[in-house]
Structure 1
Amino acid sequence: MVETSSPTLTWTNVLIGLLFILFDSLLSLVLGLGIGGSLVVAAARCVLQLSIMGLILDKVFASNNIWGVFGIAALLNVLGATEATYNKSKRRFTNMFPLILLSMLSATIPISMLGTRFAMSQNPFWKPDQYVPILGMILGNAISAIGIALNTVHKEFSDNKDKIETYLAFGASRFEACKPVGKEALKLALLPTVNQMSVIGLISIPGMMTGAIVGGKSVEQAARLQMIIMFMISASSALCTLLALFFSLTTLVDSRCRIRPDRLDSRKPLFYRYRDSAGERLWKGIKNLRCWGRKEVGSEEETRGLLNGQSSQ
């Protein structure tokens, strides 16, 4: 069997890959989907974030230091909590960011440690080239699950809170009243993971398995590795979402069994409000500048017309 080395990718290859995003944007423009701008912004974020992450991880992998690995793990959890709080959730409850961060730390770190040490037989478990990518995959799926669950709960409290109020009025505790909403939200949050596990290997070849094969592992070993990772993702997503739902429901229904809609904020995050406000002011300034230029041109033309009229008289 002839071994072939992997090709070296350059920014030219990235630009060629970017053509696929431009195709999607063009398709959005032709069909009027209105997502072309979002695709371009997402692609720009992808390039920037992966470039920064590549620079950081390159140093962490080279140092092979446990504190560097735990620092990256903490940073990834903070970024994941930020994404889940401010980008994935349409509404936010009081103290949502620290509570979501606590939920993610309580689930992703223990499960990733136990999974890499015992299920994957890595010793030490914190080997950067093994632990960090697995933690990243776990966090990515946890963010999506938390976003689905909290959006479901917050929609119920915003639009259909009569059912919960009825339970509370008939003497149910806040946990009994919130249980149906929480169960439905958790079920919806875990559904993508269940669907992914049901088709993996049969229809799709996952990225981690592909990477392991490219990295030199046998197909059999790569398949077993992917099984373990999927089971870790499932457990971590379930635990993260369960904790996030607990914090959300106990915030929106207080200890005196009162629904607290005042603790649910439907506005955009403060940063995005500032961004939109600055954009509006900039656009108004450009429009005023254009109008001012037109007025000046008009007044000059009117002045010339009046002068011409006076001279003809």
Structure 2
Amino acid sequence: MDSEPGSSTTHLSWGNVGLAFSFILLDGFLSTTFGLGVGSSLITAAVRCVVQLSVVALILQKVFETNNPWAVAGMAFLLNLMGTAETVVNKSKKRYDYMFPSVLVGMLGSTIPVSIIGVRFAMDVDPFWKPEQYIPIVGMLCGATISGIVVSVTYVLKELYDNRDKVEMYLAFGASRFEACKPIARDALRLALTPNINQMSVIGIIAIPGMMTGAILGGSSVEQAARLQMVIMFMISSCTALSSIVTTILALGVVVDAEHRVRTDRIDTREHAVWRARNWAVSQLVGGVKGIAAWIAAGLRRIAGKREEEPRTSEGSERERLLG
């Protein structure tokens, strides 16, 4: 019997997920065989994917059942907050002062307006905050903006930290910080937008994207699925551009101050404080375990030594008694 439009045609179990996970194990085996050094990262990312999607599924189910606009708003903010943390803590090798709030502002300032306007008018959903439609859209926009922000900010910080003499030369000849940083900002934004441009250029001819595939599998017509994918791609491109522009300007404004000085002291090249704290905790834990193991080993040696001395003492006492 044919399924109705919009109904799911497949029912997946954890066995299906485990079978798909075997593909990741194959990739990890190939990485180990050829010495690529990405096997552990691949497995860790796959495990995170399973855990995170399972938790999100539980949370979204509750949000969908409540059908409350405040719950939807809280979920949208949480997605942006988690995306900001992922960008600052995990994805960025270099960071600048006040990076977390500036990235959060860039993400919220792009994903929320674009998602509201896009869902309400481009997708013709009323009210726009319907959780089963609005939250997945915000999630996709957050995921796309992370890549753009990481690329643009990474390029800006690299240029200002490694090639600061170029900017300082412009500043020394009387250029404003806007004029001196304009080439860096232009190249950073070009790099951030290039993946989206390449993706849109091959969609439909070479690649069938995930949203269109999901809509088709869910029972929608191919024509409607294609139009939905067009809307989503345009929203993603807009979000990526807006968030990259905002974070690039804020990063340049922090590192190049109002007195037209390149402040590399505001760039942190160390691991994030979260990972430094984790490494310290692990080292303390390992040191404590080693200390306890050494203490136990010393105690066992003392006990073994006493047991060896007892037969010798009793044997000497017996000899003295017989000779006496």
Flag whether TM exceeds 0.5 (same fold).
yes
Distance 1:122 1:233 in 2: 18
The residue that corresponds to 1:167 in the other structure is 170
* % identity of equivalent residues: 53
Select between 161-170 and 19-28 the one with higher mean Cα deviation: 19-28
**Once the two structures are superposed, what CA deviation does each residue of 1:58-105 show, in whole Å capped at 9, x if it has no partner?**
111122211111111010111111111111111111111011101111
Of stretches 176-185 and 280-289 in structure 1, the one that deviates more from structure 2 is: 280-289
Correspondences of 1:69-108 after superposition (within 5 Å): 69-108=72-111
Which residue in the other structure is 2:260 paired with? Answer: 257
SS in 1 for 2:91: coil
The answer (yes or no) to whether the contact 2:89–2:274 under 8 Å persists in 1 is no
Deviation of 1:279 (Å) = 2.5
1:206 to 204, 209, 224: 209
Are the aligned partners of 2:152 and 2:188 in contact in 1 as well (CA < 8 Å)?
A: yes
The alpha carbon displacement at 1:28 in A equals 1.3
Matched with 1:244 is 247
C-alpha offsets along residues 231-277 of structure 1, whole Å, 9 cap, x if unaligned? 01001100000000010000000001011111111111111001122
Q: Secondary structure of 1:87's partner?
A: helix
Q: CA deviation at 1:2?
A: 3.7
1:26 alignment counterpart: 29
Structure 1: gaps (5+ residues): 305-313
How far off its partner does 1:153 sit? Answer: 0.7
1:1-313 mapped onto 2 (5 Å cutoff): 2-3=2-3, 6-284=9-287
Identify the residue that residue 309 of structure 1 maps to in structure 2. none
Alignment: residue pair count = 306
RMSD, aligned CA = 2.3
Structure 2 vs 1, CA of residues 297 and 34 (structure 1 numbering), >3 Å: closer, same or farther? Answer: farther
Quick one: distance in 1 between partners of 2:134 and 2:176? Answer: 42
Offset at residue 13 of structure 1 (A) = 1.6
SS at structure 1 position matched to 2:174:
coil
Pair 1:293–1:23, CA change in 2 (3 A): farther
Higher gyration radius (CA): 2
* TM-score, scaled to structure 2: 0.88
**3-state SS of paired residue (1:257):** coil
Name the structure, 1 or 2, with higher relative contact order (CA <8 Å, separation 6+). 2
Task: Tell me how far apart the structure 1 counterparts of residues 290 and 147 of structure 2 sit (CA, whole Å).
Answer: 40
- Of residues 38-47 and 277-286 in structure 1, the stretch that sits farther from structure 2 once superposed is 277-286
Q: Read off the aligned partner of 2:254 and give its amino acid letter.
A: T
